[in-house]
């Protein structure tokens, strides 16, 4: 509940589904990965317009080897004109594919490794003020290289993905110093740093429910594949 006098929250501290009535929508753009629409929303009797970027959703993988090093790849990102150090990641763009299977495929395609052990590390909404993009970050351990190395599946900025192994403590410092700023890297590395201190005991299994994505799908807020 909200006390309207002083706006102090007195309920549970947990994100919750709380949709407002949409009285009209206008499609603005439809692309391969995302689309943009404008919703007219009834907000307590006041009609307001909000632009929404509907995204496919994605997964990312914090892969840690037996030397406690994080695998990062260096990839060009055109919207920011930068080469960023990121964990392997990929879009949820295959209908019906379970997110963990997407993660395993992307780890292989972007790094040339496979993992024996998978857990959910952290879920986050990338930019909820304007986008519906939900990302699940997995922890992958028990790494072994694929026979033949990384398959040649990418093009353009995905054709050449140099990788680097960074000690987890160093990766954490790189995030806090601002040297690494990719959201999946920031969230994943800091979550891994925190989870390791608890012996990874508080992590969810790889097939754990993903309520946020289920909600986005039910609400029609995921870009159609």
Told to judge if 158 belongs to the known catalytic residues of this protein, a careful annotator would answer: yes
* Pairing state between β 134-145 and 58-63: parallel
Q: Are 59 and 99 in contact (CB under 8 A)?
A: yes
Cβ neighbors of 51 (< 8 A, separation 6 or more) are 28, 36, 37, 38, 130
Q: Are 36 and 131 in contact (CB under 8 A)?
A: no
43 by DSSP, 3-state: which?
strand
- Round to whole Å and give the CA distance between 141 and 144: 9
- Round to whole Å and give the CA distance between 215 and 210: 9
Tokens of 30: 């439809």
Which of 18, 110, 158, 218 is catalytic? The answer is: 158
Catalytic residues: 158
């Amino acid at each position: 509940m909200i006390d309207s006098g002083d706006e102090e929250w007195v309920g549970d501290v947990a994100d919750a589904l709380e949709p407002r009535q949409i009285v009209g929508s206008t499609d603005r753009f439809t692309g391969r990965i995302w689309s943009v629409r404008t919703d007219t929303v009834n907000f307590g009797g006041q009609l307001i317009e909000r632009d929404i970027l509907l995204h496919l959703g994605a997964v990312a993988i914090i892969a840690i080897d037996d030397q406690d090093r994080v695998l990062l790849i260096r990839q060009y990102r055109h919207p920011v004109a930068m080469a960023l150090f990121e964990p392997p990641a990929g879009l949820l763009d295959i209908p019906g594919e379970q997110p963990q299977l997407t993660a395993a495929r992307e780890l292989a395609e972007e790094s040339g490794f496979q993992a024996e052990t998978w857990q959910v590390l952290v879920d986050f909404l990338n930019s909820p003020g304007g986008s519906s993009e939900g990302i699940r970050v997995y922890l992958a351990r028990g790494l072994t290289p694929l026979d033949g190395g990384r398959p040649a599946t990418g093009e353009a900025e995905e054709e050449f993905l140099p990788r680097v192994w960074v000690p987890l403590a160093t990766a954490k410092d790189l995030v806090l110093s601002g040297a690494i700023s990719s959201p999946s890297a920031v969230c994943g590395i800091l979550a891994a740093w925190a989870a390791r201190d608890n012996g990874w005991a508080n992590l969810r299994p790889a097939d754990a429910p993903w309520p946020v994505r289920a909600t986005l799908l039910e609400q029609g807020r995921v870009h159609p594949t």
